[in-house]
């Protein structure tokens, strides 16, 4: 096996594009990757800004890759922070154990810092071995949960909120933002306009259904394979938990699985009561600008409201 000295980091090299396409990612993750997914997650511009992709090459052969997309986070004090989000970081199965992901992640952090980001953000399940690479870069961890259906979810429709399909309008993100205003606002992703929000939440690689639930809730559900992913949910706090139950039951009645991501402890507690499986995870944040490193690490002590669709 070639030595580590022969490994080199390349920034978005066009001559290796074919090597790190959907087939490469499917091999690394052992999951489905389509051309549409590859374009959406790793090549799509957002608010006029193109993403980057860092490739670790062994000679002329790609062995690891990680994309980075650029977004904004709003902390509870109302301040906006530019961040890079590590996306689809992967190492070929036969190359693992050589520190490949750590090297490519460090390059992603350096690239994000050079583009003015305050932090590098990653999303991981608790058992993900990639977490150590983030820890070595000084990451702080914000607890989160990956919530999925299982067979014992009650099928009763008693007390279930009514669901109906509706058309998405540009006031959806505005209404959601109004619910999260200071002084009690949690941290969240910030979308500068309705077009950028639609690009992230509605115009996704798989079919997205928009629903009105009960009196106040609106939801966006992406149908990915056999799973209904609750990518975005807005509504009055008194109805949100009931809306989650309604969407999970809807998936079961249709013979499909259910998935959502949450950083809200109340939602995690409610999911367990509903019989949903809860897998712990973390939204990790790596400080990139030394003068503000302590401020970024403080994000781990703040409350956050992150939608599944925010994560890429």
CATH numbers and ranges of domains, the chain: 4-145+281-311 (3.40.630.30), 148-279 (3.40.630)
Q: ω into residue 183 within 30 of 0, thus cis? A: yes
- Length of the chain equals 312
Query: Digits of tens for pLDDT over the chain (312 positions)?
Result: 444 547 788 887 777 777 889 999 999 999 889 999 999 999 999 999 999 999 999 888 889 999 999 999 999 988 999 999 999 998 999 888 888 999 999 999 999 999 999 999 999 999 888 889 999 999 999 999 999 998 655 555 555 788 999 999 999 998 888 887 666 689 999 999 999 999 999 999 999 999 999 999 999 999 999 999 999 999 988 899 999 999 999 999 999 999 999 999 999 999 999 899 999 999 999 999 999 899 999 999 999 999 999 997
Structure confidence at residue 152 (pLDDT): 56
Structure confidence at residue 195 (pLDDT): 95
Comparing CA positions, the residue from 106, 122, 2, 116 lying closest to residue 63 is 2
Comparing CA positions, the residue from 180, 20, 165, 161 lying closest to residue 91 is 20
- Residue 112's contacts (CB-CB under 8 Å, 6 or more residues apart) are 68, 70, 83, 84, 120, 288
């Amino acid at each position: 096996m070639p030595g580590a000295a022969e490994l080199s980091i390349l920034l978005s090299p066009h001559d290796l594009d074919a090597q790190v396409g959907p087939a490469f990612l499917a091999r690394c993750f052992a999951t489905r990757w389509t051309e549409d997914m590859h374009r959406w997650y790793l090549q799509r511009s957002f608010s006029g800004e193109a993403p980057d992709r860092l490739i670790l090459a062994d000679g002329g052969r790609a062995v690891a890759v990680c994309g980075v997309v650029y977004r904004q986070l709003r902390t509870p004090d109302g301040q906006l922070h530019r961040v890079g989000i590590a996306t689809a970081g992967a190492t070929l199965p036969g190359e693992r154990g050589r520190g490949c992901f750590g090297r490519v992640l460090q390059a992603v952090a350096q690239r994000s810092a050079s583009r003015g980001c305050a932090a590098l953000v990653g999303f991981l399940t608790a058992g993900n071995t990639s977490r150590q690479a983030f820890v070595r870069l000084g990451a702080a961890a914000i607890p989160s949960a990956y919530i999925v259906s299982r067979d014992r979810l009650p099928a009763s429709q008693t007390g279930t909120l009514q669901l109906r399909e509706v058309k998405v309008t540009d006031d959806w993100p505005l209404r959601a933002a109004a619910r999260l205003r200071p002084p009690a606002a949690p941290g969240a992703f910030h979308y500068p306009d309705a077009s950028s929000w639609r690009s992230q939440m509605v115009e996704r690689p798989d079919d997205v259904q928009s629903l009105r639930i009960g009196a106040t809730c609106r939801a966006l559900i992406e149908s990915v394979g056999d799973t209904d992913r609750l990518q975005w949910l807005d509504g009055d706090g008194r109805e949100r938990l009931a809306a989650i139950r309604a969407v999970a039951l809807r998936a079961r009645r249709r013979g499909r699985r259910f998935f959502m991501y949450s950083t809200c402890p109340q939602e995690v507690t409610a999911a367990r009561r509903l019989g949903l499986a809860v897998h712990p995870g973390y939204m990790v944040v790596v400080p990139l600008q030394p003068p503000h490193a302590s401020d970024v690490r403080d994000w781990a002590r703040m409350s956050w409201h992150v939608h599944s669709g925010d994560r890429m």
